[in-house]
Structures are given as structure tokens and as C-alpha cells.
């Protein structure tokens, strides 16, 4: 199947058409209209489809800033959270910038219901919310990933009234722990759900008028794709898909990537650093952070630093410091600021713009020991490479200090050290060789420096994850993402193998239900088994298993 | 936005792949539900609560405290080294001012481990707090004054043993009365050696002591003692087995009570010790401790099965507690008036014989100890130690310990005795420990 990947970025919208054997057939770039993401998407789509010279069907992959913008600009629906908090931290202390109502009812860490909900209380609060104009509701329980029944009971109660157009349940977004993050994730999800639903509806209309489009997938923060239907259930997963698309582009374009590597995407204002371990990108430890919201949304780990081709140049007595702000357009490209790009142009490292203008702006800024334009230009290039390699070094330092909870991980930590530097972005040809030299690593600079996000979007493949929690003493088996719960039989014979098998089967059938077919292998990414002992007798076992479709890309040539 | 009022370093290490044995209370999932509760409450996302990965203690760090027989390598496994290293890191975080307070929330525990280590006792092999104290002294010098307040339900006999004659350490142990619980020691008559008499403070509490009693003891006894002694650092060895749901003890503390205790003590460093109600107590107690250390509100915290009637402590228990407080305070106030010659004799040496039982490893150790009664320093020590009837090998050893700030005479005597002892044919090993010189020898 051919694929069109569209990434609606902050400035430009990139579109790429990949052939059936994943060669780049066409790439286009159109300016993004912030106020109308759909129009930007449409424009890029029409432009690239015009370049398509056959009638083969295409699959469309969309990465948009729709949800991200709605969240950052606070344009989501008016949403309130009903929190089944139980005892613990005082929920008022969190200072959420949205309405959170603590309601009665809670479960404990084993998922046992300690206190039931109070229907009257809920209806009273909900009625007031409806009167105040609240459109969407998020229902979130502490430990609801261990027992979702209270969340579901509240939802069913509210549905009998039909007061709210959207109800998001905390457990459906993630099987991971962290109640405040679950609250924020569910709040954001509920607030952008109708925006996503409208978008999906209009995309479906586009498909109707363009029969050549066989299927549409939406890009997620974890670098994978999901179906339109799922994107309406979990729109929050579409946040931060842009940075993910850039990492997926690197994975798609790199020659061999079964090993460890560091991905460096150098832009005008910022440089993003991502980490590949054993061919797979690293994730954020807990979930995506967007603005002031910490969520449970699985997201690729990127570290962004204020260093790029257009960074400010600060000339100090002994050294040169670049960034963190953008200076403006390079003098050589018609601006009036001195930037690292000017230094590269003046030294003839890139052929771009007007070299004389670059030299002129360097001459204006000579100072102290940087008493010639040549010395200054070389020092700027060195400073860039130095600052970037330091940032990479620090990022790896931090990663080696991430807490671990087993003796074996302390004694034999996983080797994450990069074996290669992978460079993306326009300034990469100038700086990546220097950075690689400082880090003493080989490097590779990827083609298609402009518009690679479109390639990443096109090359991405589906991901899907579930968390299985089995507590044999409680005879319970739960998969929160599927709102699935069963009473296990023959609990004494339930073992780890069985738990793993069920996790894989449930994920496969979930994928089928979501209409996914071309996905990569299923892997178990978390696997815990603990005894439950009372006195001196083992009375049960607890299994926690996370299964996912491995984030993968089509190799693009 | 919620932010910690005090910056707290959390060295959390649940050692999910380690146990003493499959059904032993000190097993893999001991901190499982604690992890679940801490992460679910979102504590680690709160600005000002910072999690750290433990470091691994080296042989040298352990030898500054322990004489491991026959060697550190033979007695101390990797999980113990990580727990000790994590505790040392907790101290470093505070000394380096990276945080205001730190909490080593890790296992295995250590407060039943004595200076001489033939094996494990009371689930402990090496003493995490003691290793930290020596680490601190190696950083700050011997003049630093360190108070250890051990709030585990069991008497901290190991820590007491190690700092028994150490003028630089004030050791206060609150525990369930030894006549009703392992290890049986911890009477208020155990008050320390000749060089630090009165600085071992034992507060045996009657079974049934609840929050009320514990807070009374803290306010009326522990805090005044601390105020008078003026430590530079306060370490809380925070066992959590005083909880009403603990299966091994008979106390009635609650999670909120523990948080209040932490608030009152205002410790610089907290180290987890025991606590085996892994579902009903630890998740809530640990959340309470972290909240208290961070200066956050813990008034909404309670165990699911907690009930206000829990607060009621029987009158008899209250009366006993009041008597204990009066007695211990009296001993503390009069510690300097004690007639040391009457207690420790007029000879050059004070000697004592002891038998120590290693319940975990089923070893019986016989000790003969001799402390030099010196006017210039706290006096060098000689310990003969012998095991028999134990599982595995038995050893006969001698250890010579030179104290911090030792006088030259003591050091010279100790060295010459060491030389003499190494010629003995009946001893398997002879050890020499001199912390000030950072010296450890084994022959
Ligand atoms: Zn204990
Ligand atoms: Zn002396």
C-alpha cells in the first residue's frame, strides 16, 4: 500500500508520498494555518495527491497539532473531574487549574472496594455542573487501574441523565499508576474529545470524496499510529505527535538501527535529542508532559535544548555561548543577526545565502581574543559542537541515574551508551561531524533534511498496549484499557505463563477489533510476579504484565 | 500547584528480586504495595521530592563498622551492600545540601546487626545506620555529634552494640518492652559504656502503646533529651512495626501517628528498618513519612481499616508509659552523677561476657570484651568471639578496635596486642580496626 504522511507542524505542513515498497515518491510543504488545522491538512493532501501519477490506493497518516493547540490555548470544552480519591494526599493541594470534585467511594491498592459511591451526592454535583454549562466529564478513581467498577458505576449513573456529551473514564486511558496524572490525562482527554470527533468526521468526508484514500491513521506521541475510531476514544494520545514523527523519520531513514544510537534533530531555534536503545526509541518514564499538565500518555523521550542554526551568539571574554534564544534570520540569508548559520556560511561549510554578508556581520562582532572574522567564525562552530555534545552527555548521565528497583538492574545496568550519532535537520551536515568527533562516535546524516516529519508520519506503524493485572487471591483479572474484568477460575493453577498468554491474546483481539493488520511483533515490556503471603502461607499470586505492539517503522529508501 | 516545603531526597530501593527465603517476612514484595501507593499518590511528581538510585557500599565502607567473620565477601551479599550504599547516599544528599532531608526507603534492614558479624540476626546482616554514621564521620570528622532515634518496635540492639561506648553518638531506642518481644534486650538499665555512659537511652513501651503514648514519649522525653544533647544531625531509624496491623508486634500506632512523630522529631535522615504489615501499614506509613518530611499535609491520610476508636489507649498502658518516661528522664538527668567506678570497676580494663543468638542463621556466639578505661580517650577494645553449634563453619576470632580520637597510648597498646595475638595458634583470624587512620587489618 502507498502511504501519504502529513505532519501539521508549527510553521509548515509537510506531506510525503511513499510507494508500496516505501520509496519517497513525492514531498511537498505548505504553510500551516493555525486557526484552521483541517484546511492545512486538506491543502497539503491535495497538493501531494496531484503529484501522484497512478491510481493505486493510499493510506493516509496524519500528525496534527489539533489537540496540542486546544490544550495549550485552553480551547477545549468546559470539563469537570469527579474524583474518587479516598484518603491520601489532599486533592485540593494539587491546585489543578480545572474543577475537580472529590466524591465518595474508593478502592485500595489491591483493587478492593473500601467504600461505595454515593449516588445522591453525585447527581447533586452533576446537576449543578450541567446548570453551570459543563459539557464534558472525566471520572477518575484512585487505583481505578486495579478496579474500574466504581468509575463505571458513576458513568452509568450519569448516562441515565444524559447531561454530558463526553464522559472519559480514567482507567481507559492507561493501565499505569499515578492518580494525579490520571486526573490530568482524563481531564484533557474529555476536554478535547469533541474537537477530535469533529475533525474525524470531516476527515471521513474527505475520504468519501477521495476514494483513492483507503484508510486513515492518526499519529500518537509514542511514534505509533491509531485508527480514527480509537482517536475519538483517546484523543489525548495525539498530543506531541510532531516530535515523535521526527524520531520515527530517523528510524525509517537510518541504514541499520538495531543498535544503540543518539538522534539529534537540529532546527533553527532548538535541537531535539532522542535516545535509541537496541533499535528502539526510549520512552518518557511516566508519560508525556504538555504545558503544565503531566499525563500518563506514553510518549517518546526527547530532550529539547535552545540551540539551533539561528541561535543568539554571546561573545564573552574567554568563550562563546550560543542560545538559548533565537537571534533572528541569519545575515547571510537576508536578516541582520549574527547566527551559527552565518559562521558556517562564511567558512564555506555550506553553500547558502550570501557569503559576503556573513563575513560582514562576523567582522562587526569581532572582539577581544576573537579579533578576526575567521577566528570568530571558527569559535562559533566549535561552541555549537561543544554545547551540543555536552547536552547529549548530560542527557545520558541522567538516564544512567534513573531509579531501578531490582538488585540485578543495579549490578548489571542496561547498556544504553550510543554507538552512533544520527543527524537530522538542515544544519546537521555542519555540526554533526564535529559533535560525533567530540563524542568519539561514528555518525550518519539523514537525507531529506527538510520535511522529514512527513516521512516519519508516513513510515509509522500501529502501536497498541494493554496492562494485565491478575490477583489470584482476589480471583480478579483486569485489563483497564479494555475495561475488561473477569473472575478467574482455578486460581491455584494460574501461572505466569498463562498470564502472559492471556495478555498477548487480548492484545491481538483488541488490535483486530481496532482494524489493525500491518503491525509489528507483540512484546512484553513489563512482567512482574509476586507472591501474596498470609502468615507463613502463600495464598495467592499477583501478576502485572504490559504487552504492546512494538513501535516500528517502515524502512524508507 | 503542590510543592514540597522542604526538599526531600528519596532513595527508594525495594529490591524486588531478593528475599531471605520464599515465605520469610523479608521477601520480594515487602515494599511492593508501598511502591504502588507512592506512585499512585503521585508523590514522585511533586516538585521538591526527588528520587535517587542507591549506590553500592564498598568493602571499605562496611569494614569501618563491622568485623565480618571470616570476611565481608563471605558474609555480605549484594542486596545488603545496596541497602547500606543507599543509606550512605541518603546522608550524602543532606551533607551536600542537595536536599534538606532524606529518606532511605529500602531493604534489607540492619538495626539488629552488631559490630561482629557471623551471620544474620533479626533479618539483618549489616547495620545500615552505623555504616552511614561512619561514612558521615569520615566526611565531617570525629567531632560531629550524631543522634540516632530508633522508632522500630524491636530494640535496636545491633546499633546499641556498635555505639555502646561511642561519645560521638546518642542512641535512643523506643521499642516494645523486651520482656514481650524479640530480641529481649533494651531495658532502661542498659545505658552505655564507660566513655559514653547515659548516651544509650532505652525507652521500653508496654504492648498496646498507640499514637497518644508515642507522641507523649516523643514530646516529654525524646525531644528534651535531643534539645539538651544538641546533635548536629538527627537520624531516625524508622521501623514501621509499631503499626496496629503488624503481625510480629503488639503495638497500636497509625500511619498518621507516624507522620506526626516524624514532624516532631524533624530528622535530617530517615532510614527504614522493620515493618511487616506490608499491605495494611507500610503503604500508608511511608506515604505519611514522605509527606511529613516534605512539609505537606497528611491530615487526609488514613488506613482503609482505621477507625477513631483506635485512638483510645487503655489507661493502664498510659500510666505505664508515664512511669517509663519519668524513670528514663531521671536516669538521663543524673547520668553525669553516676559513679562510673562502681559500675565499670577501678581496673585498667572493664570486661564483660556475652552470648549472642543469631535467630535468622541459628548461630550462637560467645563474646568476651575488654575496654581500656582511659582518661584521655574512650579506650581501645579487644573482643574475643567464638561461634559453635551453628549451621556451617564456626570461627574463633579476636578483634581490636581503636576508637575515634584515640590517645597515643591506647593506639600503641592496641597495636602491640594485635601483634601478639596474630601469633596465637588457637585463633582463626585476628582483626584490627582503626577508623581515624582508616585502617583495617586481618591476619
Ligand atoms: Zn522491628
Ligand atoms: Zn586512651
pLDDT per residue over B64-86, tens digit each? 999 999 999 999 999 999 999 99
In a domain, B3, yes or no: no
In a domain, B1, yes or no: no
What local confidence, expressed as pLDDT, does residue B88 receive? 98
| Among A164, A180, A199, residue at a domain's last position | A164
Specify whether A88 is located in the same domain as A141.
yes
Q: Which residue in B248, B300, B302, B306 has the most chain A C-beta atoms within 10 A of its own C-beta, making it the best mutation to test that interface? A: B300
User: Per the CB < 8 Å rule, is A109 touching B29?
Assistant: no
- Nearest residue of A to residue B19, measured between CA atoms: A407
CB B432 within 8 A of CB B441: yes
User: Per the CB < 8 Å rule, is A404 touching B53?
Assistant: yes
Q: Is the pLDDT of residue B390 over 60?
A: no
Tell me if chain B has a CB within 8 Å of the CB of A405. Answer: yes
In a domain, B429, yes or no: yes
In a domain, A139, yes or no: yes
What local confidence, expressed as pLDDT, does residue B241 receive? 95
Q: pLDDT by residue (tens digit) across B215-235?
A: 999 999 999 999 999 999 999
Burial class (CB in 10 A: 0-12, 13-18, 19+), A104: middle
For chain A, the domain total comes to 3
Count other Cβ atoms within 10 Å, centred on residue A388: 25
User: Per the CB < 8 Å rule, is A407 touching B36?
Assistant: no
In a domain, A150, yes or no: yes
Specify whether A469 is located in the same domain as A374.
no
In a domain, A300, yes or no: no
Tell me if chain A has a CB within 8 Å of the CB of B436. Answer: no
Whole-complex ipTM: 0.93
Specify whether B289 is located in the same domain as B431.
no
For chain B, the three-class secondary structure string (H helix, E strand, C coil) is CCCCCCCEEEEEECCCCCCCCCCCCCCHHHHHHHHHHHHHCCHHHCCCEEEECCCCCCHHHHHCCCEECCCHHHHCCHHHHHHHHHHHHHHHHHHCCCCCEEEEEECCCCCCCCCEECCCECCECCCHHHHHHHHHHHHHCCCCCEEEEECCCCCCHHHHHHHCCCCCEEEEEEEECCCCCCCCCCCCCCCCCCCCCCCEEEEEECCCCEHHHHHHHHHHHHHHHHHHHCCCEEEEEECCCCECCCCCCCCEECHHHHHHHHHHHCCCEEEECCCCCCCCCHHHHHHHHHHHHHCCCCCCCCCCCCCHHHHCCCHHHHHHHHHHHHHHHHHHHCHHHCCHHHHHCCCCEEEEEEEEEECCCCEEEEEEEEEECCCCCCCCEEEEEEEECCCCCCCEEEEEEECCCCCHHHHHHHHHHHHHHHCCCCCCEEEEEECCCCEEEEC
What's CA B301's distance to the chain center, in Å?
27
| Among B271, B306, B336, residue at a domain's last position | B336
What local confidence, expressed as pLDDT, does residue A240 receive? 87
In a domain, A19, yes or no: no
- Nearest residue of B to residue A110, measured between CA atoms: B33
> Residue B272: which domain range?
8-336
Chain A hits for B78, CB-CB cut-off 8 Å, are: 407, 410-411
Q: Is the pLDDT of residue B151 over 90?
A: yes
User: Per the CB < 8 Å rule, is A110 touching B279?
Assistant: yes
Sign of CA pseudo-dihedral A453, A454, A457, A459? negative
Please tell me the distance in Å from A85's CA to the nearest CA on chain B: 10
Torsion of the alpha carbons at A357, A359, A362 and A363, rounded to the nearest 10: -110
Specify whether B319 is located in the same domain as B366.
no
Q: Which of A216, A265, A269 is nearest to A242 (CA)?
A: A265
Tell me if chain A has a CB within 8 Å of the CB of B35. Answer: yes
Specify whether A390 is located in the same domain as A352.
yes
In a domain, A236, yes or no: no
Please tell me the distance in Å from B422's CA to the nearest CA on chain A: 36
| Among A449, A477, A498, residue at a domain's last position | A449
What local confidence, expressed as pLDDT, does residue B70 receive? 92
| Among B317, B336, B355, residue at a domain's last position | B336
In a domain, A64, yes or no: no
CB A468 within 8 A of CB A476: no
Specify whether B320 is located in the same domain as B352.
no
| Among B336, B351, B375, residue at a domain's last position | B336
User: Per the CB < 8 Å rule, is A404 touching B28?
Assistant: no
Specify whether B231 is located in the same domain as B367.
no
Distance, CA of A196 to CA of A219 (rounded, Å): 13
User: Per the CB < 8 Å rule, is A542 touching B29?
Assistant: yes
pLDDT-derived band at B391 (thresholds 50, 70, 90) equals: low
- Chain A residues 78-97 with CB within 8 Å of chain B: 86-90, 93-95
Specify whether A486 is located in the same domain as A392.
no
Specify whether A499 is located in the same domain as A369.
no
Q: Which of B198, B93, B80 is nearest to B139 (CA)?
A: B93
Query: Is B307 part of the annotated catalytic residue set?
Result: no
In a domain, B378, yes or no: yes
Specify whether A382 is located in the same domain as A469.
no
- Percent of chain B residues past pLDDT 70, beyond the cut: 99
User: Per the CB < 8 Å rule, is B40 touching A535?
Assistant: no
Q: Which DSSP symbol is given to A185?
A: H
Q: Is the pLDDT of residue B104 over 90?
A: yes
CB pairs under 8 A between A and B: 118
In a domain, A116, yes or no: yes
Specify whether A311 is located in the same domain as A436.
yes
Distance, CA of A348 to CA of B339 (rounded, Å): 89
Q: Which of A490, A342, A545, A510 is nearest to A427 (CA)?
A: A342
Tell me if chain B has a CB within 8 Å of the CB of A255. Answer: no
Specify whether B186 is located in the same domain as B299.
yes
Distance, CA of B414 to CA of A304 (rounded, Å): 61
Tell me if chain B has a CB within 8 Å of the CB of A396. Answer: no
Specify whether B201 is located in the same domain as B142.
yes
Q: Which of B379, B383, B438, B432 is nearest to B403 (CA)?
A: B379
Chain B hits for A143, CB-CB cut-off 8 Å, are: 36, 40
Specify whether B195 is located in the same domain as B255.
yes
Specify whether A443 is located in the same domain as A492.
no
User: Per the CB < 8 Å rule, is A114 touching B33?
Assistant: no
User: Per the CB < 8 Å rule, is A294 touching B17?
Assistant: no
Ligand nearest to the CA of B150: 1
Specify whether B314 is located in the same domain as B404.
no
What local confidence, expressed as pLDDT, does residue B389 receive? 59
Specify whether B66 is located in the same domain as B180.
yes
Specify whether A385 is located in the same domain as A513.
no
Specify whether A432 is located in the same domain as A347.
yes
Pairing of β B8-13 and β B101-106: parallel
In a domain, B166, yes or no: yes
CB B117 within 8 A of CB B164: no
Chain B hits for A94, CB-CB cut-off 8 Å, are: 1-2, 42
- Nearest residue of A to residue B42, measured between CA atoms: A178
Catalytic residue among B80, B112, B118, B155: B112
In a domain, A494, yes or no: yes
pLDDT-derived band at B312 (thresholds 50, 70, 90) equals: confident
CATH number at residue B159: 3.40.800.20
Specify whether B250 is located in the same domain as B320.
yes
Please tell me the distance in Å from A148's CA to the nearest CA on chain B: 15
Specify whether B329 is located in the same domain as B365.
no
| Among A414, A449, A484, residue at a domain's last position | A449
Specify whether B85 is located in the same domain as B234.
yes
For chain B, the domain total comes to 2
**How would you write the pLDDT of chain A (557 residues) with one tens digit per residue?**
899 999 998 788 999 999 999 999 999 999 988 888 899 999 999 999 999 889 899 999 999 888 888 898 888 999 999 999 999 999 989 999 999 999 999 999 999 999 999 999 999 999 999 999 999 999 999 999 999 999 999 999 999 999 999 999 999 999 999 999 999 999 999 999 999 999 999 999 999 998 899 999 999 999 999 999 899 999 999 998 888 999 999 999 987 667 899 999 998 889 999 999 998 899 998 999 998 899 999 999 999 999 999 999 999 999 999 989 999 899 999 998 999 999 999 999 988 899 999 999 999 999 899 999 999 999 999 999 999 999 999 999 999 999 999 999 999 989 999 999 999 988 899 999 999 999 999 999 998 877 788 999 999 999 999 999 999 999 999 999 999 999 998 888 899 999 999 999 999 999 998 888 778 889 999 999 999 888 778 889 999 999 999 888 899 98
Specify whether A524 is located in the same domain as A491.
yes
Give me the residue label for grid cell 578576526: A372
* Count of positions (residues) in chain B: 443
Tell me if chain A has a CB within 8 Å of the CB of B23. Answer: yes
Distance, CA of B241 to CA of B234 (rounded, Å): 21
Cell readout for A514 is: 481496532
> Residue A94: which domain range?
79-164
Tell me if chain A has a CB within 8 Å of the CB of B291. Answer: yes
Please tell me the distance in Å from A182's CA to the nearest CA on chain B: 9
User: Per the CB < 8 Å rule, is A108 touching B15?
Assistant: no
In a domain, B128, yes or no: yes
In a domain, B2, yes or no: no
Chain B hits for A410, CB-CB cut-off 8 Å, are: 13, 53-54, 56, 78, 82
Tell me if chain A has a CB within 8 Å of the CB of B103. Answer: no
Specify whether A362 is located in the same domain as A434.
yes
Amino acid at each position: 500500500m502507498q502511504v501519504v504522511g502529513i505532519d501539521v507542524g508549527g510553521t509548515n505542513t509537510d506531506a510525503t508520498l511513499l510507494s508500496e515498497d516505501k520509496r519517497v515518491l513525492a514531498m511537498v510543504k505548505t504553510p500551516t494555518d493555525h486557526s484552521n488545522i483541517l484546511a492545512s491538512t486538506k491543502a497539503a493532501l491535495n497538493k501531494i495527491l496531484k503529484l501522484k501519477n497512478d491510481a493505486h490506493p493510499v493510506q493516509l497518516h496524519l500528525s496534527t497539532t489539533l489537540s496540542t493547540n486546544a490544550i495549550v490555548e485552553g480551547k477545549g470544552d468546559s470539563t469537570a473531574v469527579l474524583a474518587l480519591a479516598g484518603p491520601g494526599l489532599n486533592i485540593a493541594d494539587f491546585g489543578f487549574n480545572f474543577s475537580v470534585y472529590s466524591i465518595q467511594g474508593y478502592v485500595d491498592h489491591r483493587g478492593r472496594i473500601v467504600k461505595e459511591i454515593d449516588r445522591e451526592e453525585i447527581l447533586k454535583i452533576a446537576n449543578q455542573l450541567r446548570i453551570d454549562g459543563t459539557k464534558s466529564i472525566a471520572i477518575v478513581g484512585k487505583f481505578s487501574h486495579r478496579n474500574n467498577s466504581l468509575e463505571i458505576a458513576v458513568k452509568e449513573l450519569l448516562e441515565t441523565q444524559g447531561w454530558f456529551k463526553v464522559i472519559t473514564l480514567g482507567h481507559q486511558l492507561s493501565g499505569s499508576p499515578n492518580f494525579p496524572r490520571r486526573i490530568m490525562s482524563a481531564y484533557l482527554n474529555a476536554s478535547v474529545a469533541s474537537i477530535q470527533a469533529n475533525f474525524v468526521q470531516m476527515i471521513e468526508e474527505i475520504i468519501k470524496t477521495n476514494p483513492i484514500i483507503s484508510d486513515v491513521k492518526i499519529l500518537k506521541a509514542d511514534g505509533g499510529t491509531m485508527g480514527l475510531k480509537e482517536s475519538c476514544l483517546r484523543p489525548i494520545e495525539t498530543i506531541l505527535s510532531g516530535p515523535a514523527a521526527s524520531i520515527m523519520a530517523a528510524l525509517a531513514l537510518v541504514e541499520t538501527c538495531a543498535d544503540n544510537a543518539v538522534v539529534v534533530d537540529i532546527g533553527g531555534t532548538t535541537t531535539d535529542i532522542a535516545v535509541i536503545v537496541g533499535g528502539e526509541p526510549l520512552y518518557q518514564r511516566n508519560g508525556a508532559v504538555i504545558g503544565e499538565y503531566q499525563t500518563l500518555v506514553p510518549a517518546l523521550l526527547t530532550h529539547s535544548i535552545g540551540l539551533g542554526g539561528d541561535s543568539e551568539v554571546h561573545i564573552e571574554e574567554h568563550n562563546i555561548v550560543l542560545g538559548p534564544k533565537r537571534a533572528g534570520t541569519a545575515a547571510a540569508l537576508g536578516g541582520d543577526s549574527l547566527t551559527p548559520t552565518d559562521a558556517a556560511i562564511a567558512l564555506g561549510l555550506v553553500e547558502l545565502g550570501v557569503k559576503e554578508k556573513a563575513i560582514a556581520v562576523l567582522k562587526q562582532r569581532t572582539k577581544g581574543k576573537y579579533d578576526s572574522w575567521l577566528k570568530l567564525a571558527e569559535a562559533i562552530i566549535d561552541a555549537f559542537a561543544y554545547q551540543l555534545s555536552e547536552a547529549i552527555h548530560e542527557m545520558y548521565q541522567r538516564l544512567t541515574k534513573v531509579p531501578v528497583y531490582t538488585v540485578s538492574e543495579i549490578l548489571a545496568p542496561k547498556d544504553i551508551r550510543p554507538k552512533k550519532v544520527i543527524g537530522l535537520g538542515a544544519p546537521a551536515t555542519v555540526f554533526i561531524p564535529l559533535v560525533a568527533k567530540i563524542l568519539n562516535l561514528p555518525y550518519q546524516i539523514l537525507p531529506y533534511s527538510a520535511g522529514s516529519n512527513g516521512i516519519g508520519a508516513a513510515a509509522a506503524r500501529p502501536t497498541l498496549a494493554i496492562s494485565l493485572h491478575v490477583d489470584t487471591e482476589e480471583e480478579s483479572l483486569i485489563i483497564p484499557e479494555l475495561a475488561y474484568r473477569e473472575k478467574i477460575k482455578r486460581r491455584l493453577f494460574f501461572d505466569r505463563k498463562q498470564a502472559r498468554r492471556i495478555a498477548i491474546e487480548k492484545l491481538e483481539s483488541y488490535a483486530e477489533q481496532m482494524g489493525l493488520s500491518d503491525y509489528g511483533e507483540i512484546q512484553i515490556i513489563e512482567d512482574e510476579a509476586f507472591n501474596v503471603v498470609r502468615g507463613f502461607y502463600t495464598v495467592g499470586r499477583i501478576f502485572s504484565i504490559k504487552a504492546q505492539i512494538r513501535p516500528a517503522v517502515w524502512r524508507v529508501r | 500547584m503542590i510543592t514540597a516545603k522542604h526538599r526531600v531526597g528519596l532513595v527508594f530501593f525495594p529490591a524486588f528480586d531478593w528475599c531471605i527465603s520464599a515465605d520469610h517476612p523479608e521477601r520480594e514484595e515487602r515494599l511492593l504495595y508501598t511502591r504502588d501507593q507512592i506512585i499512585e499518590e503521585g508523590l514522585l511528581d511533586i516538585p521538591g521530592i526527588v528520587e535517587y538510585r542507591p549506590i553500592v557500599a564498598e568493602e571499605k565502607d562496611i569494614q569501618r563498622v563491622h568485623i565480618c567473620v571470616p570476611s565481608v565477601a563471605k558474609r555480605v551479599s549484594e542486596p545488603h551492600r545496596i541497602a547500606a550504599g543507599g543509606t550512605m547516599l541518603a546522608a550524602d544528599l543532606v551533607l551536600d545540601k542537595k536536599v534538606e532531608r532524606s529518606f532511605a526507603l529500602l531493604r534489607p534492614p540492619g538495626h539488629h546487626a552488631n559490630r561482629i558479624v557471623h551471620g544474620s540476626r533479626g533479618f539483618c546482616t549489616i547495620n545500615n545506620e552505623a555504616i552511614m554514621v561512619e561514612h558521615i564521620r569520615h566526611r565531617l570528622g570525629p567531632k560531629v555529634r550524631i543522634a540516632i532515634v530508633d522508632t522500630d518496635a524491636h530494640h535496636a540492639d545491633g546499633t546499641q552494640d556498635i555505639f555502646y561506648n561511642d561519645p560521638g553518638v546518642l542512641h535512643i531506642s523506643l521499642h516494645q518492652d523486651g520482656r514481650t518481644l524479640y530480641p529481649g534486650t533494651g531495658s532502661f538499665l542498659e545505658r552505655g559504656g564507660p566513655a559514653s555512659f547515659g548516651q544509650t537511652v532505652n525507652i521500653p513501651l508496654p504492648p498496646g502503646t498507640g499514637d497518644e503514648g508515642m507522641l507523649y514519649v516523643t514530646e516529654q522525653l525524646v525531644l528534651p533529651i535531643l534539645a539538651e544533647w544538641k546533635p548536629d544531625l538527627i537520624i531516625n531509624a524508622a521501623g514501621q512495626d509499631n503499626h496496629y496491623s503488624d503481625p510480629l508486634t503488639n503495638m497500636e500506632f497509625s500511619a498518621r501517628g507516624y507522620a506526626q512523630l516524624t514532624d516532631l522529631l524533624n530528622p535530617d535522615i530517615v532510614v527504614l528498618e522493620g515493618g511487616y504489615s506490608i499491605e495494611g501499614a507500610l503503604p500508608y506509613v511511608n506515604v505519611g513519612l514522605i509527606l511529613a518530611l516534605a512539609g505537606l499535609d497528611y491530615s487526609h491520610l488514613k488506613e482503609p481499616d482505621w477507625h477513631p476508636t483506635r485512638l483510645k489507649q487503655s489507661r493502664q498502658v498510659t500510666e505505664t508509659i508515664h512511669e517509663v518516661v519519668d524513670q528514663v528522664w531521671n536516669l538521663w538527668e543524673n547520668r553525669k552523677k553516676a559513679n562510673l567506678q562502681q559500675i565499670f570497676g577501678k581496673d585498667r580494663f572493664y570486661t564483660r561476657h556475652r552470648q549472642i543468638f543469631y535467630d535468622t542463621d541459628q548461630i550462637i556466639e560467645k563474646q568476651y570484651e575488654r575496654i581500656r578505661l582511659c582518661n584521655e580517650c574512650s579506650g581501645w577494645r579487644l573482643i574475643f568471639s567464638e561461634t559453635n553449634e551453628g549451621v556451617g563453619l564456626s570461627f574463633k576470632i579476636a578483634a581490636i578496635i581503636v576508637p575515634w580520637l584515640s590517645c597515643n597510648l591506647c593506639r600503641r597498646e592496641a597495636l602491640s596486642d594485635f601483634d601478639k595475638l596474630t601469633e596465637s595458634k588457637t585463633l582463626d583470624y585476628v582483626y584490627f580496626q582503626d577508623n581515624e587512620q582508616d585502617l583495617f587489618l586481618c591476619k
